[in-house]
Amino acid sequence: MKDFLFGAAYYEEYAQEDRLERDLQLMREAGMNTVRIAESTWSVEEPRCGEFDFSHVVRVIEAAGRYGINVIVGTPTYAIPKWLADLDPAILGEAPFGPRQNMDITNPTYRFYAERIIRELVSRTAAYPNVIGFQIDNETKHYGVHNERIVQGFRDWLKARFGTVEAVNDAYTLYHWSSSVSSFDELPDPIGTVNGGYACAFEEYRRELAAAFLRWQADIVSEYKREDQFITHNFDYAWKSFVGPNQQGGQSEGLQPDLNDYEAANAVTLAGTDIYCPPCDALTGWEIAFGGDLMRPLKKAPYLVLESQSQAFTGWLPYAGQLRLMALAHLASGACGVMYWPWASIHGGIESYWKGILSHDGEPGETYAEIRQIGMELKRLAPVMTNVPKKNPIALIVSPEALHAMRWFPTGQGLSYNDVVDAFHRALYELNLECDILYDREADWSGYQLLIFPELYGTSDEMIRRVREYVEQGGSIFASFRSFFADENLLIRHDRQPHGLTDVFGMHYSRFTKNAEHVWMELLEPDTAEAIAHYDDPHWQAYASFTHHRFGAGQAWYLGCTVSDEDLKAHLLRAAAASGIPHPAVGRPMILRRRGGLRFLMNFSDDTQTLPCPQGGTDMLTGAVYAPGQSLTLPPWGAAVLREETDMEISRRER
Amino acid sequence: MKDFLFGAAYYEEYAQEDRLERDLQLMREAGMNTVRIAESTWSVEEPRCGEFDFSHVVRVIEAAGRYGINVIVGTPTYAIPKWLADLDPAILGEAPFGPRQNMDITNPTYRFYAERIIRELVSRTAAYPNVIGFQIDNETKHYGVHNERIVQGFRDWLKARFGTVEAVNDAYTLYHWSSSVSSFDELPDPIGTVNGGYACAFEEYRRELAAAFLRWQADIVSEYKREDQFITHNFDYAWKSFVGPNQQGGQSEGLQPDLNDYEAANAVTLAGTDIYCPPCDALTGWEIAFGGDLMRPLKKAPYLVLESQSQAFTGWLPYAGQLRLMALAHLASGACGVMYWPWASIHGGIESYWKGILSHDGEPGETYAEIRQIGMELKRLAPVMTNVPKKNPIALIVSPEALHAMRWFPTGQGLSYNDVVDAFHRALYELNLECDILYDREADWSGYQLLIFPELYGTSDEMIRRVREYVEQGGSIFASFRSFFADENLLIRHDRQPHGLTDVFGMHYSRFTKNAEHVWMELLEPDTAEAIAHYDDPHWQAYASFTHHRFGAGQAWYLGCTVSDEDLKAHLLRAAAASGIPHPAVGRPMILRRRGGLRFLMNFSDDTQTLPCPQGGTDMLTGAVYAPGQSLTLPPWGAAVLREETDMEISRRER
Amino acid sequence: MKDFLFGAAYYEEYAQEDRLERDLQLMREAGMNTVRIAESTWSVEEPRCGEFDFSHVVRVIEAAGRYGINVIVGTPTYAIPKWLADLDPAILGEAPFGPRQNMDITNPTYRFYAERIIRELVSRTAAYPNVIGFQIDNETKHYGVHNERIVQGFRDWLKARFGTVEAVNDAYTLYHWSSSVSSFDELPDPIGTVNGGYACAFEEYRRELAAAFLRWQADIVSEYKREDQFITHNFDYAWKSFVGPNQQGGQSEGLQPDLNDYEAANAVTLAGTDIYCPPCDALTGWEIAFGGDLMRPLKKAPYLVLESQSQAFTGWLPYAGQLRLMALAHLASGACGVMYWPWASIHGGIESYWKGILSHDGEPGETYAEIRQIGMELKRLAPVMTNVPKKNPIALIVSPEALHAMRWFPTGQGLSYNDVVDAFHRALYELNLECDILYDREADWSGYQLLIFPELYGTSDEMIRRVREYVEQGGSIFASFRSFFADENLLIRHDRQPHGLTDVFGMHYSRFTKNAEHVWMELLEPDTAEAIAHYDDPHWQAYASFTHHRFGAGQAWYLGCTVSDEDLKAHLLRAAAASGIPHPAVGRPMILRRRGGLRFLMNFSDDTQTLPCPQGGTDMLTGAVYAPGQSLTLPPWGAAVLREETDMEISRRER
pLDDT over 70 (residue B646)? no
Model pLDDT, residue A638 = 98
Residue of A nearest to C636 (CA): A539
Percentage with pLDDT > 90 across chain B:
93
Using CB atoms, pick whichever of C178, C513, C520 lies closest to residue B40. C178
Model pLDDT, residue B647 = 67
Model pLDDT, residue B2 = 78
Instruction: Report the mean per-residue pLDDT for chain C.
Output: 96
| Chain C partners within 8 Å of A189 (Cβ) | 96-97
pLDDT over 80 (residue B645)? no
**Residue pairs between chains B and C whose CB atoms are closer than 8 Å:** 148
Tell me: the pLDDT tens digits for A211-246?
Answer: 999 999 999 999 999 999 999 999 999 999 988 777
CB contact under 8 Å between C195 and B349, yes or no, is yes
Tell me: the pLDDT tens digits for C399-448?
Answer: 999 999 999 999 999 999 999 999 999 999 999 999 999 999 999 999 99
In which band, very low, low, confident or very high, does the pLDDT at B342 lie, cut at 50, 70 and 90?
A: very high
In which band, very low, low, confident or very high, does the pLDDT at C615 lie, cut at 50, 70 and 90?
A: confident
Model pLDDT, residue C583 = 84
Q: Are B338 and B5 in contact (CB under 8 A)?
A: yes
CB contact under 8 Å between C177 and B315, yes or no, is no
Model pLDDT, residue C653 = 62
| Selected residue with higher pLDDT from C612 and A57 | A57
Model pLDDT, residue B32 = 98
Model pLDDT, residue C248 = 81
Q: Name the pTM for this structure.
A: 0.96
CB contact under 8 Å between C511 and B86, yes or no, is no
Tell me: the pLDDT tens digits for A491-522?
Answer: 999 999 999 999 999 999 999 999 999 999 99
Sign for the pseudo-dihedral over CA of A358, A364, A370, A375? positive
CB contact under 8 Å between A360 and B510, yes or no, is yes
Using CB atoms, pick whichever of A177, A188, A539 lies closest to residue C319. A539
CB contact under 8 Å between A177 and C367, yes or no, is no
Using only C-alpha atoms, what is the Rg of chain A?
26
Residue of B nearest to A78 (CA): B177
Cα–Cα separations (whole angstroms), residue A466 to A261, A418, A459, C42 = 22, 24, 11, 41
CB contact under 8 Å between A492 and C348, yes or no, is yes
| Chain C partners within 8 Å of A178 (Cβ) | 40-44, 76, 79-81, 100
pLDDT over 80 (residue B232)? yes
Instruction: Report the mean per-residue pLDDT for chain B.
Output: 96
CB contact under 8 Å between B315 and C497, yes or no, is no
Alpha helices in B138-260 (DSSP H): 148-162, 165-171, 196-222
Mean per-residue pLDDT for C194-211? 98
In which band, very low, low, confident or very high, does the pLDDT at A646 lie, cut at 50, 70 and 90?
A: low
CA-to-CA distance for B316 and B320, rounded, in angstroms? 12
In which band, very low, low, confident or very high, does the pLDDT at A400 lie, cut at 50, 70 and 90?
A: very high
In which band, very low, low, confident or very high, does the pLDDT at B243 lie, cut at 50, 70 and 90?
A: confident
Residues of A engaging C, defined by a Cβ cutoff of 8 Å: 172-182, 186-189, 191-197, 199, 408-410, 412, 489-497, 510-515, 520, 539
Q: Helix, strand or coil for residue B203? A: helix
Instruction: Report the mean per-residue pLDDT for chain A.
Output: 96
Model pLDDT, residue A372 = 98
Give the residue from B350, B366, B368 with the most C CB atoms within 10 Å of its CB, the best one to mutate: B350
Model pLDDT, residue A644 = 79
Using CB atoms, pick whichever of A16, A246, A319 lies closest to residue B539. A319
| Chain A partners within 8 Å of B185 (Cβ) | none
pLDDT over 90 (residue B386)? no
Residue of C nearest to B636 (CA): C539
Model pLDDT, residue C2 = 78
Mean per-residue pLDDT for A20-48? 97
The widest CA-to-CA distance across chain C, in whole angstroms, is 84
Chain A nearest C-alpha distance from B456 (Å): 17
CB contact under 8 Å between B365 and C511, yes or no, is yes
Mean per-residue pLDDT for C323-331? 98
Tell me: the pLDDT tens digits for A244-289?
Answer: 777 888 999 999 999 999 999 999 999 999 999 999 999 999 999 9
CA-to-CA distance for A256 and A235, rounded, in angstroms? 8
What lies within 8 Å, CB to CB, of B383 at 6+ separation is: B4
Model pLDDT, residue C148 = 96
Using CB atoms, pick whichever of B181, B409, B494 lies closest to residue A353. B409
Using CB atoms, pick whichever of B17, B95, B348 lies closest to residue C195. B348
Least confident of A407-421, A601-615, B538-552, C236-250: C236-250
Mean per-residue pLDDT for C447-456? 98
Model pLDDT, residue C634 = 97
Residue of A nearest to B190 (CA): A98
Residue of B nearest to A315 (CA): B513
CA-to-CA distance for A205 and A199, rounded, in angstroms? 10
Tell me: the pLDDT tens digits for B252-290?
Answer: 999 999 999 999 999 999 999 999 999 999 999 999 999
- DSSP structural state of residue C598: E
CB contact under 8 Å between A490 and C244, yes or no, is no
Model pLDDT, residue A264 = 98
| Chain A partners within 8 Å of C244 (Cβ) | 410
pLDDT over 90 (residue B125)? yes
pLDDT over 80 (residue C108)? yes
In which band, very low, low, confident or very high, does the pLDDT at A580 lie, cut at 50, 70 and 90?
A: very high
What lies within 8 Å, CB to CB, of B612 at 6+ separation is: B585, B629, B631, B632
Q: Are B312 and B323 in contact (CB under 8 A)?
A: no
A neighbours by CB contacts (3+ pairs under 8 Å): B, C
Mean per-residue pLDDT for A368-376? 97
Chain B nearest C-alpha distance from A627 (Å): 34
In which band, very low, low, confident or very high, does the pLDDT at B98 lie, cut at 50, 70 and 90?
A: very high
Model pLDDT, residue B382 = 87
pLDDT over 90 (residue B203)? yes
Identify the burial level of B516 via C-beta atoms within 10 angstroms of its C-beta, where 0-12 means exposed, 13-18 middle and 19 or more buried. exposed
Cα–Cα separations (whole angstroms), residue B314 to A640, B275, B308, B356, C387 = 66, 17, 16, 11, 49
Tell me: the pLDDT tens digits for C459-477?
Answer: 999 999 999 999 999 999 9
CB contact under 8 Å between C345 and A492, yes or no, is yes
Model pLDDT, residue A303 = 98
Q: H-helix or E-strand containing A558?
A: strand A554-559
In angstroms, how far is CA C212 from the centroid of its own chain?
Answer: 19
Residue of B nearest to C178 (CA): B43
Chain A nearest C-alpha distance from C410 (Å): 30
Tell me: the pLDDT tens digits for B353-372?
Answer: 999 999 999 999 999 999 99
Using CB atoms, pick whichever of A43, A97, A244 lies closest to residue B189. A97
In which band, very low, low, confident or very high, does the pLDDT at C614 lie, cut at 50, 70 and 90?
A: confident
pLDDT over 70 (residue B649)? no
CA dihedral angle for residue B494, residue B498, residue B501, residue B502, rounded to 10 degrees: -90
CA-to-CA distance for B438 and B444, rounded, in angstroms? 9
Model pLDDT, residue A653 = 62
Count CA atoms within 13 Å of residue A180 on its CB side: 25
Sign for the pseudo-dihedral over CA of C419, C422, C427, C430? negative
pLDDT over 70 (residue B655)? no
